[in-house]
């Protein structure tokens, strides 16, 4: 029987959404309001995907995320927040509390997903897929890890937690995938 278990794991990986995906557009979330949020809705737009948390030392990055969203959304950038409790238990337990916190404290109006796991065996399939796409910064190690997804659904680059959303390398990468002004 032990020989069957590894085969089962391989088969499970082959049929997983992450193994079948060709681009980030093959994945979907639920919005923080509970509505379907397929990433295919963002085809033709760049997406800055960020796992967020309300009680983290990096939570003030919400302010920069909102500013980047305001500066670049007309050119085709979507900032997508993914609340997660994976790092230090620093997120509210309920989506309504998360949404209220973001609205009241930061005036967030960019789209956000329902709370998700972004690492480990329960990670959302998009995060599993991304970890297979990038060599560097391929997996979040803390809250406010950022991934840039190109308009064609390719993952372009990952940025660590300590890299602010408005830092020169992030802005340069965004500018490189967006059409000229």
Cα separation, 56 vs 156, whole angstroms:
26
Among 51, 95, 105, 143, the one annotated catalytic = 105
Q: Residue 108: exposed, middle, or buried by beta-carbon count in 10 A (0-12, 13-18, 19+)?
A: buried
| Sheet of 155-159, strands arranged across | 77-83, 46-52, 146-149, 155-159
Per the CB < 8 A criterion, the answer to whether 37 and 113 are in contact is yes
Q: In angstroms, rounded to a whole number, what is the distance separating the alpha carbons of residues 173 and 39?
A: 20
Say whether 105 is catalytic.
yes
* Residues labelled as active-site residues: 105
């Amino acid at each position: 029987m032990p020989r069957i278990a590894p085969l089962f794991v391989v088969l499970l990986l082959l049929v997983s959404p992450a193994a079948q995906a060709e681009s980030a557009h093959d994945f979907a979330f639920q919005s923080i309001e509970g509505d379907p949020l397929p990433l295919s809705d963002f085809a033709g737009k760049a997406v800055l995907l960020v796992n967020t948390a309300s009680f983290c030392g990096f939570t003030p990055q919400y302010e920069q995320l909102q500013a980047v969203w305001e500066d670049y959304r007309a050119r085709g950038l979507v900032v997508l927040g993914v609340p997660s409790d994976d790092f230090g238990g620093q997120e509210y337990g309920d989506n309504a509390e998360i949404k209220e916190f973001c609205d009241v404290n930061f005036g967030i109006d960019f789209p956000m997903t329902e709370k998700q796991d972004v690492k480990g065996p329960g990670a959302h399939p998009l995060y599993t897929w991304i970890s297979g796409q990038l060599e560097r910064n391929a997996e979040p190690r803390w809250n406010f890890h950022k991934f840039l997804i190109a308009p064609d659904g390719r993952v372009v680059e990952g940025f660590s937690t300590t890299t602010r959303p408005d830092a020169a390398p992030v802005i340069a990468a965004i500018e490189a995938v967006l059409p000229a002004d």
